[in-house]
A = this chain, B = another copy of it.
């Protein structure tokens, strides 16, 4: 078999997520061919890439941006983007009908050994690949945004996805410096969004019951629990929090956490009234017209953190 590392990667969808993926693959030395149904998005891609790459270089996360940018080419058609591609990262609109139409169009164009990963953050691939000839070679490869700073990628196979498709995408992601996670089968929200959702859920409840302000809840994470989670997951955290490790911790504190969890069953926050109150409180501390600036701050912090993390032992 020829060296698949020489073959290009196709990115379909040139929005924020697609651009992030283009950087991931090109940074790792791969040729990238980007297409989008929107001519506008394709037209300003070079400018957006230039800004993002300059930011990465400023933070010492890449060297010279020029050769990275040079590996990313814009494809005028879907067929041109897929030509010779060993892997396709689909990053288009999160809508079943739109994705399904694209996958049907890709089916006759895809190289016979190529795989397709969808950036879908919530729709399982079975909903848009069912019945297509390429379905066994498709799966979800869901990143965190932006993927060039946060390396985790969830790989979620449909029931008909071939195991070798998962293995191949897993190997590719590792080769380009991402951290792929294997999910055994499809589930609502996959793993990342399920874990993401539990913290706001309890936070909403504590806020609703009047125990704490939004800002104080946020500080409990950012100045208390969060710094550990930036380099350790929940299991390693509890494993290191008792002299005998995870079993010892569970023996000491399992009952407390079980009782707390039991108090929350049936609790359904995200109600309209609650959201309106929270919105008023957030907008008082951060007016809507300052939101974009604060997003820039967040992205700079993430970048600085990524640079910091590279200096630390794993």
Contacts and interface: CB of A to CB of B under 8 A. Distances in A.
A199 to B, nearest CB: 5
Contacts of A255: 270
Nearest to A261: B201
Given A192-B224, A192-B225, A304-B312, A258 B270 contact: yes
A197 interface: yes
A181 B301 contact: no
Contacts of A189: 256-257, 260
Copies of this protein in the assembly total 2
Interface residues of A, number: 107
A64 interface: no
Contact of A233 (B150, B221, B231): B221
A230 to B, nearest CB: 4
A28 interface: no
Nearest to A276: B247
B229 A226 contact: yes
A144 interface: yes
Interface stretch (A18-26, A112-120, A126-134, A290-298): A290-298
Given A236-B282, A240-B298, 15 more contacts: A152-B220, A182-B213, A182-B216, A191-B217, A195-B199, A197-B257, A198-B202, A201-B261, A226-B229, A227-B309, A229-B230, A239-B291, A297-B313, A304-B308, A304-B311
16 contacts: A122-B256, A183-B211, A192-B224, A197-B260, A198-B198, A201-B261, A218-B232, A227-B306, A231-B305, A235-B282, A239-B291, A245-B286, A245-B288, A254-B275, A265-B266, A301-B312
Interface of A: 122, 144, 149-152, 154, 179, 181-185, 187-189, 191-203, 206, 210-214, 216-236, 238-240, 243-247, 250-251, 254-270, 275-276, 278-279, 282-283, 286, 288, 291, 294-295, 297-298, 300-302, 304-306, 308-309, 311-313
